[in-house]
Chain A
Amino acid sequence: MPAQSSASRASPPASFIDEVIAATPGSDPHLELCVQCGTCGGSCPSGPDMEHTPRQLFAMIEAGMKEDVLRSNTPWYCVSCYYCTVRCPQDVHITDIMYTLKRMAIKEGMYRESTAADAPDFSETFIDFVEHYGRSFELGLATLYHLKHHPLGAVKMAGFGLGMLRRGRMDLTPNKIEGIDQLKTILAKAKELSNDNSNGKGGGR
């Protein structure tokens, strides 16, 4: 398939690769420029544990294999180290694409069938505290997430938590910012715009 120019992205029905590109705000992620060299997979610290290397995943995106891509554990195993991004000869913003694929997998509900099914809940629990208080809250995050997903492992984590508390490294209550109402208003507006974008009302990228 020839590389598609950005000018052709607007016309529906969008192919999967166009969808991925459109859902990646900010700088152009250059996804259509991937030449399948494999530098990304070879640079990836968690590559051996991924179901597909980034290179494979990009070939699957190009081939329109949406469901397989969104069910893959690959985006969730990305550790955001950006080695692939700085080494990519085509300047594909690989880490950014991984974030996009996580968001799409959540939206389509497909992550539940992947081997990284717990991962989105960690992110969601984290942002829940941020949305309510304006700051992150480690004790609350660890307690809620581990009790829900690894109740047996939570015992082990409790020891870890005690170590943190004894060293004065963990707060017992969350810290709330003064402008929390302002922050909530900003986030609500941003979510509204984000929904409009994905429903095709906004301008995409």
Chain B
Amino acid sequence: MKYGYYPGCTLERNAIAYHQSAMAVAKKLDIEFTEVDDWNCCGATEYISIDALPAYALIARNLALASQQKLNGNGNQLVAPCSACYLNLQKTDHYMADSPELAQQVNTALEAGGLNYDPGSVRVRHLLDILTQDVGYDAVAEKVTKPLYNLRIAPYYGCMIVRPSFDDTYDNPEYPTCLDDLMRNLGATVVDYPVKAHCCGGHMTQISETVALDLIRRLLKNAADYQADMIVTLCPMCQLNLGGYQEAVNKHFGTDYKIPILYFTQLMGLAFGIKPKELGFGKEFVSANPALEKIGAEPPPKPKKQRRSKEALPMPNSTEGM
């Protein structure tokens, strides 16, 4: 199977574990991804808050490039692993098709840069969508060599892949189940917790932290109530908020959550027998090592301690556990 691939900015660095594990899993499943050459940022939820037309033009440049580069023989399908990128690309394509006036204006802007995009010519898909629908659960189950029998997993969908669900949606916006089914096919026990498609706080961590901390707490508490060993997600923002701000939640609410937040592709890789260090384990904020022990997987090597030269000026140590 061949697809175009739009990694998005976070997968280059912050969510590199997602990118690494996605590529490792794709190789096992004979999926060929061709990255859009010279893609740009999708603007996240920020550009559209400032100016609409440039925001759509920014996103449409990627669609135009994907269309022009004819990345695959699979109906020109473009796969985005990040929820925000996925929604932005899909929304722009959809709105341009819906509003000839918007399409015309966006294309006037694109043409200034020698590009053009015909709405509908690229089909935008999410990574989870193609792994569950195109590859399918049976083909995934066939590749499992180390089933995740002892793991209790809380599948977390977040918002933007299930809502607002343009055209042919692949799951329910209120009660999605495809990630549940995927994890079950890896041998894991899935906890059916009610908040699995609720919000992680998005950019509120930056704008009004207490609002975000409360939203993050709800998710952690619910997963902990259902005795999940980990929360498994498909969005870099969710992974960052639930993992990176877990310590802040514990401080703010006097709680003691230690729930690792992992990408679903990392769990697929584990079940396929790929080594944790090749799947980006060790980059999560709350260590997944106790969970890895449960299934007898080898934990990733510890990062080397940075040695300081004796000649160097004295510097305070960075806080352990950050």
Contacts and interface: CB of A to CB of B under 8 A. Distances in A.
Contacts of B164: 82, 85-86, 93, 95
Given A77-B204, A99-B52, A193-B53, A186 B43 contact: no
A51 interface: no
B309 interface: no
B112 A185 contact: yes
Nearest to B91: A26
Interface residues on B, range: 35 or more
Nearest to B106: A190
Nearest to A99: B48
A205 B99 contact: yes
Contact of A177 (B38, B199, B208): B38
B58 A85 contact: no
Interface string A86-107: 1000000101000110110010
A63 interface: no
Contacts of B160: 80, 82
A186 B110 contact: yes
A179 B61 CA distance: 10
A109 to B, nearest CB: 14
A197 B104 CA distance: 13
Nearest to A121: B207
B14 interface: yes
Interface string B32-75: 00000011110111111111111011100100000000000000
Contacts, number: 217
Interface in A5-22: none
B244 interface: yes
A202 interface: yes
B285 A130 contact: no
A65 interface: no
A76 B204 CA distance: 9
A60 to B, nearest CB: 20
Q: Which of B56, B160, B199 has the most CB of A within 10 A?
A: B199
A186 B57 contact: yes
B202 interface: yes
B234 to A, nearest CB: 15
Contact of A191 (B16, B53, B99, B303): B53
B12 A169 contact: no
Contact of B44 (A82, A119, A136, A178): A136
A201 B54 CA distance: 17
A175 B38 CA distance: 11
B201 interface: yes
Contacts of B189: none
Given A25-B102, A81-B199, 5 more contacts: A116-B208, A175-B12, A186-B112, A194-B52, A203-B101
Q: Which 8 residue pairs are nearest across A and B when measured between Cβ atoms?
A: A26-B95, A82-B163, A163-B322, A190-B109, A189-B112, A190-B57, A81-B199, A194-B53
Interface of A: 23-27, 45-46, 49, 76-77, 79-83, 85-86, 93, 95, 99-100, 102-103, 106, 116, 118-120, 122-124, 126-127, 130, 134-136, 138, 145, 159-160, 162-164, 166-171, 175, 177-179, 182-183, 185-191, 193-194, 197, 202-203, 205
